Amino acid sequence: MSKLDLIIVGGGPAGLCAAMYAGRGMLNAVLLERGIPGGELLNTEKIEDYPGFESILGQDLAARMTEHAKKFGADIRMENVEGIWKQPDGGFKVTTSNGETYHAPTVIITAGGTPTKLGVSGEAEYAGKGVSYCAVCDGAFFKGETIAVIGGGDAAVEEADYLTRYAAKVYLIHRRHEFRASKVVQERALSNPKIEVIWNKKVLDLTGEVIGLKTVNLEDTVTGERSALSVTGCFVFIGFTPNSGLVRDHVAHDATGYLVTDDRMMTSIPGLFAAGDLRVQLTRQVTTAVGDATTAAIAVEKYLTDLKTGVRA
């Protein structure tokens, strides 16, 4: 392999966009993705908020983004990245689980994050068919329907309130007798007539039919009594872990592990850029991911130019 200019870690929308721009910029780049390119797009049934597509299947958008990147010469490899290290020469070493090692002066990490799953029967089966981890992405599919939101933190309570603009009724289910969410967020949700809070309940399993989810089965965490809710949607907000741990050197992040960047998407480590869901920002959508990646890829070009001309140390 010839000398690399850039290593892109992660093959979701941000990574694919970064690879496309790297190709357009004539950079020698490689994109490392542990599975089929597309990231969370592959777990999303339909997308209706990406400009230019009134409605498109997540897997179809992933395929189009992949082909677009390849047309500009993207080198996409199925590699599971295990770590990113800053080197004494200022560049980076990226290692993978099959023993490969890559070196480049710049890295864009777009490895996203992982929503915490309930870990119950039916969750995987109905993912994209009623089970969702993103209210903004999928809320509009449940107009006039009855849905459930699982969780008790800010995200769960805020999204339950948000989802009432679409759903006729929202059950907000929490395994304890009080929320962890901030008081102002709680007050807004509790005063919403479309929201019914169900306390002290945990999800046992999810059942339905071939076309989608029909029932959330619950167990009382105090009495053990079981019950069932008829719903067509179940939104899970019990946590999200950004994959920022791949960076093995100290890098600035917030209390939950999201990477802090400047306006060029560069982290506190010179030459290491971040884009997409693992970066500190207000919202995490396909559109914001590709916007981040566009900025990051163009910033990499300038960073490399500055390195060659001696502007940067």
CA terminus-to-terminus distance, the chain: 26
Query: What percentage of the chain carries pLDDT values higher than 90?
Result: 81
DSSP three-state, residue 295: helix
184 token code pair: 């102002």
238 residue type, one letter: I
Domains contained in the chain, CATH given: 6-114+240-309 (3.50.50.60), 131-236 (3.50.50.60)
| 253 phi, psi to nearest 5 deg | -150, 165
254 CB-near residues (< 8 Å, 6+ apart): 260, 280
Which residue in the list 5, 17, 138, 277 is annotated as catalytic?
138
User: How many Å apart are CA 95 and CA 92, to the nearest integer?
Assistant: 10
Of 156, 93, 97, 112, the closest CA to residue 258 belongs to 112
Which residue in the list 137, 161, 234, 292 is annotated as catalytic?
137
pTM over 0.85: no
Which alpha helices (DSSP H) does 4-153 contain, by range? 13-24, 58-71, 135-138
User: What sign does the CA torsion over 187, 190, 195, 201 have?
Assistant: positive
Asked whether 166 and 140 are in contact (CB, 8 A), the reply is yes
7 token code pair: 């290593």
134 token code pair: 């993103």
Q: What is the pLDDT of residue 312?
A: 58
Which residue in the list 49, 60, 75, 134 is annotated as catalytic?
134
Q: What is the pLDDT of residue 313?
A: 46
Question: Is-catalytic flag, 137?
Answer: yes
Average pLDDT value for the chain: 94
Model pLDDT for residues 115-144, shown as the tens digit of each residue: 899 999 999 999 989 999 988 888 999 999
Asked whether 293 and 276 are in contact (CB, 8 A), the reply is yes
Question: Is-catalytic flag, 262?
Answer: no
DSSP three-state, residue 76: strand
Average pLDDT over residues 152-165: 92
